[in-house]
């Protein structure tokens, strides 16, 4: 088997039509409106279809995160039943275990985990932040007046070190040193075999200085150029494999000029789609999507990385987001936080110990049609894994269905009304999702 770093000589040309297995089709566009954040009041929201070798993704869509080729405590069959169209796994974690060669030998990520629908992998760029500054899932922040390039989360130490060529990681599993670069990330993701993958990028925090953000955007662009070259080489050399789409990632924190500049850079390269990444202040999350869409070709699908607050999803859809991923529904569920149309609540509160109603009245998910709040409360308190399963099924169903309903509202011409009704109801009691 070819090494991830070895460049074979005399690679065979790409198979005719192979790339055409991936394309984006727009169905319905949002009309211009008062809420448009794009240039000249443009609203970039739309419905569409992402065609992949393993099936179609109807957008807007929520992409549940199966970090290590698995949803924690939930089988792929259950994810299908709750309506998930696709899943996203983490390239860095799969690199550590079981290793990309194992997934390649198994026939790719989907076949390895018995999932016959589309799959995504991120590039390992997220670990630049989570192992570097140590903030893990904290991306949308308000850090007014706090600027430092040496910031480290409380109680953490730096385990990722960035240089021009790539990043050196200290493994959170065993302390071993690992090296990621544009070429290595592409090699790993090609062996993992997802339908959609992302270019290797540097994820910064909102606390980094303006100067650092500028340097990081340029570094991410240079890495993106290398990713495109290596992706083409690997695509041509790995004949017989389904085509894997490559998305470039736009960084730039909360600076409009940097976001627009980075978007133009990514638009200039031969990417199949774009990832809207990085730390984004909640107050301008819709604006940030619109700035990027202003500068991007409209025929490329747009993925918003790591977003799952209900109001943020509406803001991003209205301003151009097509697909969304986040670990929050599953992670919150394992801790007892349940998402409903009437807001978020913690099922482990004492009042639910004798409550034999479903987690959410009217919900059609497997959990709500079979089990009660009292039972899920008991399982979570007892740390029984079935509790993780039932809470996760409900929360993932909530977000998958929310995006399905948003998609229907755009097609039916009722996006603004549906948004206002949904947010009014969800936040009526001060919930924050």
pLDDT for position 146: 52
Q: Which of 195, 272, 325, 377 is catalytic?
A: 325
Residue 338 bridge partners (DSSP): 345
Residue 354 CB neighbours (<10 A)? 10
Q: Distance between CA atoms of 306 and 323, rounded to whole angstroms?
A: 10
Residue whose C-alpha is closest to residue 290's, from 253, 325, 324, 317: 317
Known catalytic residue: 201? no
| Cα torsion through 321, 110, 198, 79, rounded to 10 | 30
pLDDT in tens, the chain (433 residues): 334 433 333 333 445 568 999 999 999 999 987 768 999 899 999 999 999 999 999 999 999 999 999 999 999 999 999 999 999 999 999 999 999 999 999 999 999 999 999 999 999 777 766 665 545 444 434 445 555 566 655 676 767 788 899 888 888 788 888 889 999 999 999 999 999 999 999 888 888 889 989 999 999 999 999 999 999 999 999 999 999 999 999 999 999 999 999 999 999 999 999 999 888 899 999 999 999 999 999 999 999 999 999 999 999 999 999 999 999 999 999 999 999 999 999 999 999 999 999 999 999 999 999 999 999 999 999 999 999 999 999 999 999 999 999 999 999 999 999 999 999 999 998 754 4
Q: Contact at 8 Å (CB) between 86 and 117?
A: yes
Q: Which of 104, 122, 272, 377 is catalytic?
A: 122
Q: What is the DSSP letter of 108?
A: S
How, if at all, do strands 61-64 and 119-122 pair? unpaired
Known catalytic residue: 377? no
> How buried is residue 67: exposed, middle or buried, by Cβ count under 10 Å (0-12/13-18/19+)?
middle
Report helix, strand or coil for 230: helix
Q: Contact at 8 Å (CB) between 65 and 347?
A: no
Q: Give the ranges where 300-361 is alpha helix by DSSP (H).
A: 310-318, 328-334
pLDDT for position 6: 37
pLDDT for position 5: 39
Sign, Cα dihedral of 379, 385, 391, 394 = negative
What domains lie within the chain, and their CATH numbers? 24-325 (3.20.20.105), 327-424 (no CATH)
């Amino acid at each position: 088997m070819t090494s991830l770093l070895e460049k074979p000589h005399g690679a065979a040309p790409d198979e005719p039509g192979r790339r055409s297995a991936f394309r984006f089709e727009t169905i319905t566009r949002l009309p211009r409106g008062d809420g448009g954040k794009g240039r000249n009041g443009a609203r970039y929201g739309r419905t569409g279809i992402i065609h992949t070798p393993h099936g179609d993704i109807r957008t807007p869509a929520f992409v549940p995160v199966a970090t290590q080729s698995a949803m924690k405590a939930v089988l792929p069959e259950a994810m299908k039943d709750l309506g998930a169209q696709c899943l996203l796994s983490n390239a860095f974690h799969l690199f550590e275990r079981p290793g990309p060669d194992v997934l390649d030998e198994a026939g790719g990520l989907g076949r390895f985990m018995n999932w016959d629908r589309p799959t995504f992998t991120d590039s390992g760029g997220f670990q630049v932040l989570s192992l570097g500054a140590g903030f893990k899932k904290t991306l949308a922040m308000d850090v007014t007046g706090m600027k430092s390039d040496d910031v480290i989360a409380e109680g953490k130490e730096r385990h990722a070190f960035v240089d021009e060529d790539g990043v050196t990681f200290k493994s959170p599993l065993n302390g071993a040193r690992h090296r990621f670069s544009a070429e290595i990330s592409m090699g790993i993701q090609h062996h993992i075999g997802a339908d959609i993958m992302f270019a290797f990028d540097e994820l910064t925090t909102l606390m980094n200085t303006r100067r650092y953000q500028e340097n990081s955007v340029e570094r991410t662009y240079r890495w993106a150029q290398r990713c495109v070259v290596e992706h083409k080489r690997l695509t041509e050399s790995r004949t017989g494999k389904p085509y894997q789409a490559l998305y470039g990632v736009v960084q730039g924190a909360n600076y409009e000029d940097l976001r627009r500049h980075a978007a133009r850079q990514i638009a200039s390269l031969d990417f199949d789609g774009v990832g809207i990444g990085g730390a984004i202040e909640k107050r301008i999350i819709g604006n940030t999507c619109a700035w990027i869409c202003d500068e991007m070709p409209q025929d490329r699908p747009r993925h918003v990385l790591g977003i799952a607050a209900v109001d943020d999803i509406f803001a991003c859809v209205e301003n151009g987001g097509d697909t969304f991923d986040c670990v929050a529904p599953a992670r919150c569920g394992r801790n007892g936080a349940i998402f409903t149309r009437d807001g978020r609540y913690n099922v482990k509160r004492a009042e639910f110990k004798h409550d034999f109603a479903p987690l959410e009245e009217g919900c059609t998910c497997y959990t709500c049609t079979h089990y009660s709040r009292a039972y899920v409360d008991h399982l979570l308190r007892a740390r029984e894994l079935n509790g993780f399963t039932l809470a996760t099924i409900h929360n993932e169903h909530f977000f998958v269905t929310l995006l399905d309903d948003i998609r229907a509202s755009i097609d039916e011409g009722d996006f603004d009304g549906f948004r206002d009704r949904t947010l009014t109801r969800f936040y009526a009691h001060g919930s924050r999702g």
